[in-house]
Structure 1
């Protein structure tokens, strides 16, 4: 009887741990969804609280084909750029329609820190502008997941179209 009771307690603990982990992943997925919706709605009020206190690492690396094209226009063009989340959302305040799509999302977390990697494409007025891979670092503080870093690669769609992904 003790073995059965111990087994049931262990099973219950494992189930609780699994559901808590699932809940964390759902919370992190909600951060991604809010991010995408803020881009569409140009909503800085909802966007800013997604991030932890500054400084937030925000680095884009230009992929080779796009970088080679940039060098033809400007021989001193760098292959990376630094920015921040405030500049990113402010750059969308014009009349254009913006959208960033995330797919192939992978979330790795331990309840306190998380890394999220995914492929993305960035659209303006219904036309894909660029695409690449993105990685976020997050921490959970005061019960909320906050983005601490955003790093991504960029390939211009008109220079190197995004390969079709198999499902």
Structure 2
């Protein structure tokens, strides 16, 4: 009987812990989703709303010489660049999956993507979002992505 009660307690607490983690993963995913909703709508306020103050934003891409380069960008410059895309230009970043890891008040969201410009495949890569939970809210503190044209598994527009 004692063994049955002990097992039941572990199952209940294990289920509650998993439910909390799953719920937090959904909250992290929602932050990323909100960022891309604003991105596709060219809405700088929506995008900015999910960032923590003074985030680090970087891109890894090969330069003209074929050597990988790390490019730093300020949030305001990124937002202005997206907002200034002409309305006649269509763009879509398709996320293929979310891999989310959480440790306390820190989370990581790894999102492989394909990018389309005017409905034509442009490039692929991975976004890596680092988030901080403060006052019950997840905010992006660091965003880095890769960009390449070869080795892309997903090329069909979804």
TM category (shorter chain) comes to 0.7 to 0.9
Q: Which residue of 2 aligns with 1:58?
A: 57
Written as runs of structure 1 = structure 2, the 5 A alignment for 1:72-151 is 79-93=69-83, 94-95=86-87, 96-151=89-144
Q: Is 1:17 paired with 2:17?
A: yes
For structure 1, the residue ranges without an aligned partner over 5 or more in a row are none
| Distance 1:33-1:5 versus aligned 2 partners, 3 A rule | same
Q: Please report the TM-score for the alignment, with normalisation by the length of structure 1.
A: 0.79
Deviations 1:71-94 (A, max 9, x none): 39xxxx982311133322321222
Higher strand fraction (1 or 2)? 2
For 2:121 and 2:81, the matched residues in 1 are separated by: 17
Q: Is the 8 A contact 1:118 1:133 kept in 2?
A: yes
RMSD between superposed Cα atoms in Å: 2.3
For 1:11 and 1:27, the matched residues in 2 are separated by: 24
Pairwise CA distance, 1:154: 1.4
Pairwise CA distance, 1:111: 3.6
Q: Please report the TM-score for the alignment, with normalisation by the length of structure 2.
A: 0.83
Q: Is the 8 A contact 1:62 1:154 kept in 2?
A: yes
Deviations 1:33-71 (A, max 9, x none): 1122111111112111111111x11111113xxx3xx23
For structure 2, the residue ranges without an aligned partner over 5 or more in a row are none
